[in-house]
Structure 1
Amino acid sequence: MPASPDLNDIRAHDWVATRLPRSWQAYARLMRLDRPVGTWLTLLPALAALILCAGRIPPVGTVLVFALGALLMRSAGCSINDIFDRRFDAQVNRTRQRPLANGSLSQRQALACLALQLLLAAGLLLFLHPLTVLLALGCVPLTLVYPLLKRFTHWPQAFLGAVFNWGVLMASVETTGSLQPEALALWLGCLFWQLGYDTLYAYSDREDDLKMGLRSTATLFAGRGRTWIAGFYAMTLLCWCGAGLLAGANPGFFILLLPIALSLAYQLSLFSPDHPEPCNQLFRSNVHIGVLLLVGASVAIV
C-alpha cells in the first residue's frame, strides 16, 4: 500500500506560520526549526557523554556551545539534504511541501542560508579544545556526503547514525582530552539506536523510494523490518550497558536502561512493515529515550 502522507511535516498553523515574518518562514522550515525532534536526538546523547566521560555536570558554557552546535549542524544537515533531494522531495507525499520542493525558496537562497549556518557553527569552535575542533571539522565532509548515499547503498541510515551522534565523540575529547572507551561504546550504541529508529522513519517513505529507485534500510528489509530493528535495539542496549561498565557507573544508570528497553519494545509492538502510518510518531517518541539516557548519565555520577 502507498505510504500515508505525514500531515505534520509542514503544519499550516504552527509557530513558524503564526510568529515569524512571512519572508523568514521558508528559511525556518528549511532549517527544520518547526521540527525540533532531530535537534533533541542529536543533543541529548552528547550531553549524556559530557556527563558520563567527565564524571560531573559540565559547565553551563560547554552545554550552551554543544546545544547551539547541535541546532546549527542538524539544521545545516537538513539544508544540505534538501538541496540535493529537492527534485525527489517534490515527488514524495511527506516532503513535497518543503521549501525547495515547492519553490518557496530558490537553490541560491538555500545555499546562502547554509553558508550562514556553517559560519555560525564555525564560530562555536573558538570555545572548544583544539583537539575537539579537529574532530568537529572531520564531521563536515561526512555531513556533505550523506544525502548522496541513498542513491548508491541501502545503508544510509548507518552512515547517518555515525555522523548524527558525532557530538558524543566530541564530548569525550572536550572533557578528557581523548576518546574514552565509554564514549566509543556510547557512540556505537547511539549508531545502532539510530539505525533502528531511522529505519522506522524510512518505512513511511518506502513505497515512494521504491518508485524513484532510492535505497534505504526500509527498502532492503521489506517485511523483515521488525526483526532487524529488534536486533539494532538489542545492540543499542548492549553497547550502552558496556558504556556504563567502562565508565564505572553506579547501579542507577543500569536501572534506567530498563525503561529504555521497555520503550524500545513498545515501539516494536506498534510497528508493522505493511502499515507504516504510525512510523513517524514512533520516530518522534525516541526523544523520551534520549531524555532517559541523559538522566541515567546524571544518576551514574551521583
Structure 2
Amino acid sequence: MQATDLMPPAPRRPAWRERLALYLDLIRWDRPAGWLLLLWPTLSALWLAAGGWPGWHLLIVFVAGTILMRSAGCCVNDVADRDFDRHVKRTAQRPVTSGRIGTREALAVGAALALVAFALVLTTHPAAVAWSFAALAVAVFYPYTKRFFAMPQAVLGVAFSFGIPMAFAAVRGEVPVLAWGLLLANAFWVLAYDTEYAMVDRDDDLRIGIRTSAITLGRWDVAAVLAFYALHLLLWTALVWPHAGGPWFAAGVVAAAAQVLWHARLIRERTREGCFRAFRLNHWLGAALFAGLALQLALG
C-alpha cells in the first residue's frame, strides 16, 4: 500500500462553481484581448464626441456595455460555429462545441448579458437606445456570414465598430457623418487583425469549408493586412486631426504605426504562432490611438 492510498480524495468543487467556470470559459473571461479591441475605438469616439472627459456615467456604461456585449457575442458565435469548431484543434474544447453547455443554455446566457447591456444603454440618450438594436442585429448576423460571404471579417468590422456611432448618439443625441467615417476607418483595422486571426486556422478552415478573408486573399494575405492597417491609420488620422490634432495625437499615431511594422514581421512567415501573437496583441494599437487622443484633448 502506498502512502497516497491513505490520503482522502481531493474535495470536489461545488456544482455552482463548476457551472460558473464553464460560463466564464464560454464568454472568454480569461482572454480580455477581445473586448479591449472593441473598447479602445469606442472610448476614442466617446472622448471625441464629448470634446474630452465624458463623465463617469457614460464611461461606466460603455466600458461595462462593451464587455457584456462581447461576452454575449461569444455565446452566439459558439452556438453558430459549434459544428465547425469541433474540427479545429484550437476550438474543439469550447464549452458548447464539447457539449458541456447546451445551445439553449448558451443562448440564454448570451441573452441575459445582452439584456443587462441594454439596461445600461437605457440610462443614456434615446438615440443611443435606438441604434443599439442595429448593433445587436449586426452582432447576431455576423457568425452566419462565414457560410456564404467570402470576407465575413468585413461584417465583423461593422459589428466591432458600432460602439463608435453609439458613443456619439449617447453624447450628442445624433450620429454625425464623422462617426460613420470613423466606423469605416475602424472596420479596416478589424479586417487587418481578424485576417491575422483567420491565418491561424486557414488549414482547418479550408478542410471544413468555412469562408474567411485569409482564404479569399490567398497569397496576398500579408500585403492585404498591411494595406488594411495603412487605410485604418490614414483615415483615422485624417478624420480625427481637425478635432484633436497636435503632438500628443501624432505620438499616438506614430506608436500605432510602429506596431504595424512589428506585426508585419510577426506574420510575414505566416506561422500560426506569429499570426496569433499579432492578433492577440493588437489591442495595444487601439490603446495607443486612444491615449494620444485623450492626452491631446486634455493637454492641448
TM-score for the superposition, normalised by structure 1: 0.90
Tell whether the 8 Å contact from 1:256 to 1:296 is kept in structure 2 after alignment.
Answer: yes
Out of 269-278 and 80-89, give the one that drifted further.
269-278
Count of aligned pairs between the two proteins: 284
Instruction: Give the aligned partner of residue 129 of structure 1.
Output: 125
Please, which of 274, 286, 289 is the counterpart of residue 285 of structure 2? Answer: 289
Equivalent positions of 1:1-302 (< 5 A) are: 21-272=17-268, 274-301=270-297, 302=299
Q: Distance in 1 between matches of 2:26 and 2:196?
A: 23
Q: Distance in 1 between matches of 2:49 and 2:253?
A: 18
Tell whether the 8 Å contact from 2:244 to 2:293 is kept in structure 1 after alignment.
Answer: no
Q: Distance in 2 between matches of 1:136 and 1:263?
A: 32
Q: Which letter does structure 1 place at the counterpart of 2:139?
A: T
Question: C-alpha offsets along residues 212-236 of structure 1, whole Å, 9 cap, x if unaligned?
Answer: 1110100111221111011101101
Tell whether the 8 Å contact from 2:154 to 2:191 is kept in structure 1 after alignment.
Answer: yes
SS at match of 2:62: helix
Q: Compare CA radii of gyration and give the structure with the larger one.
A: 2
Change (3 A) 1:180 1:250: farther
- CA positional deviation for 1:283: 0.6
- CA positional deviation for 1:177: 2.2
- CA positional deviation for 1:187: 2.0
Q: Which letter does structure 2 place at the counterpart of 1:33?
A: W
- CA positional deviation for 1:274: 4.1
Question: C-alpha offsets along residues 76-120 of structure 1, whole Å, 9 cap, x if unaligned?
Answer: 111101011111111101100100111111112112212211221
Would you identify which runs of 4 or more consecutive aligned residues in structure 1 move more than 4 Å? none
Out of 21-30 and 59-68, give the one that drifted further.
21-30
Instruction: Give the aligned partner of residue 13 of structure 1.
Output: none
Q: Which letter does structure 2 place at the counterpart of 1:42?
A: L
Q: Distance in 1 between matches of 2:210 and 2:108?
A: 27
TM-score for the superposition, normalised by structure 2: 0.90
Q: Which letter does structure 2 place at the counterpart of 1:221?
A: L
Task: List runs of 5+ in structure 2 lacking aligned partners.
Answer: 1-12
SS at match of 1:98: coil
- CA positional deviation for 1:248: 4.4
Tell whether the 8 Å contact from 2:45 to 2:167 is kept in structure 1 after alignment.
Answer: yes
Give the aligned CA root-mean-square deviation in angstroms: 1.6
Task: List runs of 5+ in structure 1 lacking aligned partners.
Answer: 1-16
Q: Distance in 1 between matches of 2:145 and 2:268?
A: 25
Q: Distance in 1 between matches of 2:72 and 2:110?
A: 6
Q: Distance in 2 between matches of 1:185 and 1:247?
A: 14
SS at match of 1:214: coil
Tell whether the 8 Å contact from 2:252 to 2:290 is kept in structure 1 after alignment.
Answer: no
Q: Which letter does structure 2 place at the counterpart of 1:142?
A: V
